[in-house]
């Protein structure tokens, strides 16, 4: 009798497992803290991708379930999030945002056989030194971004005194270093190179130093909260110095901080995916919910699209099979048709220059 009961229990467990055999995937980024605007971009993109994929039948006939990890752009928290995902048995993570989080987390993912595709981590070391073959990104790299910024500054501001500053983070310093390198290659040396501490509320001393040096353009290797404060504090000192930075300014929060002081701010970012015909249904669906597809929303969506497509073609969510699919496949996504090279970098159009004007960012009008 006991044996029969056990068998029945096993059968019931089998059917219960079949009924609830969802596939849990992860999205990770700064859901809290001063860079939470970017975590929300990743979360919104992931939620919409999961919703749309599930509406079409899921992956391999199973529904996707999203697990959200908050790393606050802190390396230690990122490792903790990665280990949490591993304990949940997730096969894939879209994340992280900050390079300083993605790089240490990638070691956990490589060790645990989890595919990682970052929508936003641009530091070259993320893929140049990746610890395993399942580590990818769908965004560009700082050596590409810095080259575009440096060449643009040298061409359009040949007689302007330029400063290059950074927040000492993996992202900020890496981007500033690449921009400085590009400037010097174009024959333009910065008059000031400085570091600052992220998270402070008063950059008056740094702003005063920029003013005394006669800086007309300051390149900021860092994130929008600090850049926004500097823009305001420069305006308060009567300066007309222009700010240029990278993709960490692609959030409406930048203008919320600066107000009119942000007028004319320049930044580099990939060609705006919101303008792609393939992205329109997603952009419209988000708008109907009162959400925007700014910044890295669509890049997160595309990361999940690529993984789901690779898993479908492989007939499995198993690490090696999906990696083979990602390495060999071409994927139609909301950010365009993409492939991955042997480092895990994506083959997409490079960076372009944007300008903040009247609370919005768009391609800069060529001078």
What is the 8-class DSSP label of residue 346?
B
Higher pLDDT, 3 or 169: 169
d(C-alpha 187, C-alpha 203), whole Å: 29
Tell me the average pLDDT across 214-222.
98
Res 267 pLDDT > 60 = yes
Tell me the average pLDDT across 155-168.
97
Res 12 pLDDT > 90 = no
Q: Which long-range contacts (CB under 8 A, 24 or more apart) does 326-331 make?
A: 326/115, 326/134, 326/136, 327/133, 331/302, 331/305, 331/306
Phi, psi of 141 (to 5 degrees): -120, 155
Whether the Cβ atoms of residue 231 and residue 262 lie closer than 8 Å to each other: yes
Structure confidence at residue 21 as a pLDDT band (50, 70, 90): confident
Tell me the average pLDDT across 277-290.
97
The pLDDT assigned to 120 comes to 97
The listed CATH number (3.30.1540.10, 3.40.50.2300, 3.40.50.1970, 3.40.470.10) that belongs to domain 2-140+275-338: 3.40.50.2300
Res 20 pLDDT > 90 = no
Q: Do domains 2-140+275-338 and 143-269 have the same CATH topology?
A: yes
The pLDDT assigned to 7 comes to 36
Res 26 pLDDT > 70 = yes
Cis peptide leading into residue 170 (ω within 30°)? no
For the entire predicted model, the pTM comes to 0.89
The rounded mean pLDDT for the chain is 93
Res 17 pLDDT > 60 = no
d(C-alpha 223, C-alpha 348), whole Å: 23
- State how beta strands 162-166 and 217-221 pair: parallel
Res 213 pLDDT > 90 = yes
The pLDDT assigned to 348 comes to 80
The pLDDT assigned to 14 comes to 37
The pLDDT assigned to 366 comes to 61
Task: Tokens for 300, please give them.
Answer: 């997160």
Tell me the average pLDDT across 295-315.
98
Cβ atoms within 10 Å, residue 257: 18
Res 8 pLDDT > 60 = no
Task: Tokens for 360, please give them.
Answer: 């919005």
Instruction: Print the SS3 string covering 92-107.
Output: EEEECCCHHHHHHHHH
Whether the Cβ atoms of residue 66 and residue 25 lie closer than 8 Å to each other: yes
pLDDT digits (tens, 9 = 90+) for 135-160: 999 999 999 999 999 999 999 999 99
pLDDT digits (tens, 9 = 90+) for 172-211: 999 999 999 999 999 999 999 999 999 999 999 999 999 9
Fold classified for 143-269? Rossmann fold (3.40.50)
d(C-alpha 221, C-alpha 224), whole Å: 10
The pLDDT assigned to 154 comes to 97
pLDDT digits (tens, 9 = 90+) for 90-110: 999 999 999 999 999 999 999
Higher pLDDT, 77 or 18: 77
d(C-alpha 273, C-alpha 86), whole Å: 31
Q: What percent of the chain has pLDDT over 90?
A: 92
Tell me the average pLDDT across 328-346.
96
The pLDDT assigned to 11 comes to 36
Phi, psi of 224 (to 5 degrees): -65, -35
Tell me the average pLDDT across 82-95.
98
The pLDDT assigned to 365 comes to 74
Sketch the domain layout of the chain as residue ranges. 2-140+275-338, 143-269
């Amino acid at each position: 009798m006991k044996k029969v009961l056990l068998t029945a229990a096993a059968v019931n467990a089998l059917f219960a497992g079949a009924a609830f055999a969802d596939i849990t995937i992860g999205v990770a980024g700064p859901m809290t803290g001063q860079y939470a605007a970017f975590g929300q971009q990743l979360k919104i993109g992931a939620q919409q991708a999961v919703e749309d994929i599930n509406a079409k039948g899921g992956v391999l006939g199973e529904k996707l379930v999203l697990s959200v990890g908050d790393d606050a752009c802190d390396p230690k928290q990122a490792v903790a999030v990665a280990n949490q995902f591993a304990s949940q048995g997730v096969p894939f993570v879209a994340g992280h945002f900050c390079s300083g989080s993605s790089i240490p987390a990638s070691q956990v993912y490589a060790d645990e056989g989890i595919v990682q595709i970052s929508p936003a981590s641009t530091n070259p070391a993320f893929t140049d030194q990746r610890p395993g073959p399942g580590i990818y990104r769908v965004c560009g790299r700082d050596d590409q971004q810095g080259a575009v910024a440096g060449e643009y500054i040298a061409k359009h501001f040949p007689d302007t005194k330029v400063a290059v500053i950074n927040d000492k983070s993996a992202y900020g310093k890496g981007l500033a270093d690449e921009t400085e390198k590009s400037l010097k290659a174009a024959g333009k040396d910065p008059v000031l190179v400085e570091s600052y501490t992220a998270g402070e509320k008063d950059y008056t001393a740094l702003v005063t130093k920029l003013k005394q040096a006669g800086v007309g353009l300051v390149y900021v290797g860092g994130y929008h909260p600090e850049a926004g404060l500097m823009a305001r504090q420069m305006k308060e000192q009567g300066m007309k110095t222009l700010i240029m930075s990278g993709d960490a300014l692609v959030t409406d929060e930048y203008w919320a901080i600066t107000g009119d002081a942000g007028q004319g701010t320049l930044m580099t970012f990939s060609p705006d995916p919101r303008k792609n015909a393939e992205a329109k249904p997603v952009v419209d669906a988000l708008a109907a919910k009162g959400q925007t597809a700014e910044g890295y929303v669509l890049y997160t969506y595309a990361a999940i699209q690529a993984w789901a497509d690779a898993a479908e073609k492989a007939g499995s969510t198993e690490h090696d099979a999906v990696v083979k699919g990602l390495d060999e496949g071409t994927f139609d996504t909301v950010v365009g048709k993409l492939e991955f090279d042997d480092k895990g970098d994506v083959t997409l159009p490079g960076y372009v220059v944007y300008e903040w004007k009247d609370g919005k960012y768009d391609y800069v009008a060529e001078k």
